[in-house]
Chain A
Amino acid sequence: MEYKAPLETYSGRVRAVTIGRGKKALRVGGSNILPLHYFEGAVPNRPVIALEVDDNGAAGWAGSAVEPFRDVVHDPVKWAGRCMELGADLVCLHLEGTDPHGANRTAAEAAGLAKKMVQELDSPLIVYGCGDDKKDVEVLAAVAEICRGENLLIGPAVKENYEAVLRAIVDNGHCIIAQTPIDINLEKELNVKLLKQLPPDRIVIDPLSSALGYGMEYSFTIMERTRQVGVVYGDTAMQMPVIADLGRECWKTNQAKLDREQGMLWESITAMSLLLAGADILVLRHPENCRLLKEAIEGKL
């Protein structure tokens, strides 16, 4: 008799989220499988890779991560174009320059840049604020407003500011990044609050990504549990795609700054691990790792 491997099926599925509009639109999520178990069920969209661009001239970046972009780091729009040429599925703009403890650029400046990038870029866009929850409200609201209708993925919305960020997202037709500090219960709580005003296909979960050696296993566990709770147990408040914004975490380690090869390994191993844990969007810095991870996603490794 022919052997047939048993197949698990699950009651839940990850909700598909569309980022961008028209020809630029990209869909993430939508599968009813555990991470990379393509044989288990429907996989309308495989995980995607974003490359990171910042508005602060790559200040503080490790040299090896800047290398492919050295000539464009002071022109974020060109930098974003380079990311797409080098194989990214989309671009993730980090508005580091708006940090009140740093360059403290205004919300209007940041919004202007986002607008220009949307106009000139042939890809959907993720926009992260600097992480200061008060400044982010100003900056993200300005970005949302000026890019009205472009359906960007904007965040982070956190416990402290989600009401204001959410309003800007709802009013201007974008998707939101719900960020919580590596805690499954707080993650669900924020999702529940957001779901009161936004459908699940406009929310992406950011459970926070830590780098290899700096707590990656905590991020891994939370992403893994998020998938299990959403897909296996069918918890509808936990079925949004997950974003792993990990490049920045890896390249700021001493190990990555010390040596190119170490940096490349730090980012690729962290990315591979969080991919296995269930991330749907990986944000990386180095295009070589973007290629490597794409091979992994396609099952060629």
Chain B
Amino acid sequence: MILIGENIHIISRSVSEAVRNRDAAPIQALASAQAVAGADYLDLNLGPARREPEEVASWLVRTVQEVADLPISLDTMNPLAMEAGLKLCRKRALLNSASGKSESRESMMPLAVKYNTQVVISVITDRGCPPDVDSRVESIMETVAYANDMGIANEDIWVDPIVLPVSADQKQVSEALEFIRILPDLLPGVKSVVGLSNVSNGTPANLRGVLNRTYMVMLERNGLYSAIADVLDGELVELNSGGLKDARVLIHRVMDGEPVDAEALPEKEKNYVKTARILMGDALYSHAWLET
């Protein structure tokens, strides 16, 4: 699976400070670390980029490209910042993201055409985030058809089902999983991508990793093409490159509804099994899910 490094994110205080002061060193350190860790793309998340959108975007893209020879996933809701950044991307970029919202159709999708990028298209529409598989299908079919009409081919579209935190809305976690499973039948040729760490948003920090990793294995099994993820999590990268076979097999068995005696397993495997059960919706989530 393609891994897109998430760590250059404006929500991080060190990143936002570095961007504000145009201090290249911390940004370049993050870029290099993620490249070494095995990222296939680097996500540069500027958020809404209200102040000096164009200057910030071009500075960030230049700064990162000075040290990392990876394609960039440019992540901002601001079309001015998006365009300024895309202009400078040396490798074919990933526009992150467009959606079915009218403003996105009007201002983001044309940029994907103009700069010949690949493009993330989420299931969000003017009505918000669809609550179940069927409504996700309905909205993505409509939005992708619109993108096709603009000249964007399915092969360049990375569909994002929108991952929500398990601590906030547990049901959405399995809905997104199911959506990824049926996506190739709905829209042959499209790729898929998730913001993986969002599944563990709101969960105590020391417990986030196991949720992210377990969900990644589950999504990958259902055909996920790529994830924006914490590539500095060594175990996550190891799992993605085929390591930790026992844990993977156990997670798959939970997905298949097979009985697994979690208590008989070593600590690490036991935690993966319990986490998979939570993400499948087999047991109610609580912050203490590993303690039951």
Contacts and interface: CB of A to CB of B under 8 A. Distances in A.
Nearest to A237: B292
B288 interface: yes
B284 A189 contact: no
A189 B283 contact: no
Contacts of B286: 185-189, 192, 237
Interface string A178-190: 0000001111110
Interface residues of A, number: 14
A185 B292 contact: no
A192 B285 CA distance: 11
Interface in A182-237: 184-189, 192-193, 196, 229, 233, 235, 237
A277 interface: no
B288 A193 contact: yes
Contacts of A184: 284
A238 interface: yes
Contacts of B285: 185, 188
A233 B282 CA distance: 9
Nearest to B290: A192
Interface string B143-154: 000000000000
Interface in B264-292: 283-288, 291-292
Interface string B140-168: 00000000000000000000000000010
A229 B284 contact: yes
B288 A235 contact: no
Given A185-B167, A192-B292, A235 B287 contact: no
B284 A185 contact: yes
A238 B287 CA distance: 14
Contacts of B292: 192, 237
Interface string B114-157: 00000000000000000000000000000000000000000000
A187 B284 CA distance: 11
B259 to A, nearest CB: 14
A235 B284 contact: yes
Contacts of A192: 286, 288, 291-292
A196 B292 CA distance: 9
Nearest to A184: B284
A185 B284 CA distance: 7
A229 B283 CA distance: 8
Interface in A226-275: 229, 233, 235, 237-238
Contacts of A186: 286-287
Interface in B198-238: none
Contact of B288 (A188, A229, A233, A238): A188
Contacts of B284: 184-185, 188, 229, 233, 235, 237-238
Contacts of B288: 188-189, 192-193
Contacts of B287: 185-186, 189
Residue picked from A187, A229, A233, A237, most chain B C-beta under 10 Å: A237
A196 B283 CA distance: 18
Nearest to B287: A189
Nearest to A195: B292
Contacts of A193: 288, 291
Residue picked from A185, A187, A238, most chain B C-beta under 10 Å: A185
A188 B284 CA distance: 8
Contacts of B167: 185
A181 B265 CA distance: 35
Nearest to A191: B286
A233 B292 CA distance: 15
B86 to A, nearest CB: 41
B11 to A, nearest CB: 23
Contacts of A185: 167, 284-287
Interface string A54-85: 00000000000000000000000000000000
Contacts of A187: 286
A290 B223 CA distance: 58
A284 B161 CA distance: 47
Interface string A13-29: 00000000000000000
Contacts of A237: 284, 286, 292
A229 B285 CA distance: 11
Residue picked from B167, B283, B285, B286, most chain A C-beta under 10 Å: B286
Interface of B: 167, 283-288, 291-292
Please give me the 3 A-B residue pairs with the lowest Cβ-Cβ distance, nearest first. A188-B286, A189-B286, A192-B288
17 contacts: A185-B167, A185-B284, A186-B286, A186-B287, A187-B286, A188-B284, A188-B286, A189-B286, A189-B288, A192-B286, A192-B288, A192-B291, A192-B292, A193-B291, A235-B283, A237-B286, A237-B292
